[in-house]
A = this chain, B = another copy of it.
């Protein structure tokens, strides 16, 4: 994914529509969280097994795909507005997660994976 090229296209899309004043980081964070809420709706009454069995063509799968695209778009747009290098931030986070969750200590227990600190 060419994040910079996508960010330029999304910025142009907003600029052409005079939407820039609406795209404050605060508002984009709300829009992103609203999309996350729509993603939850797809899965809320499904069992975990049902969620794992969704496949292309299933209504739930198609809805999920659509929400994932919306989430990626708002994520790119918000990173752009804040000046966050998304790729570098992901690399840094993976590195820190590896330090914080050593294989031997957390094996088989995802509850030890707390993103709270």
Contact = CB atoms under 8 A, between A and B. Distances in A.
Given A18-B107, A37-B33, A75 B83 contact: no
Interface string A90-117: 1011100110010100111011010110
B37 A24 contact: no
Nearest to A81: B52
Which bucket holds chain A's interface residue count?
Answer: 35 or more
Interface of A: 1-3, 6, 9-10, 13, 16-19, 22-27, 29-49, 51-52, 54-56, 61, 64-66, 68-73, 75, 78-79, 81-84, 86-87, 89-90, 92-94, 97-98, 101, 103, 106-108, 110-111, 113, 115-116
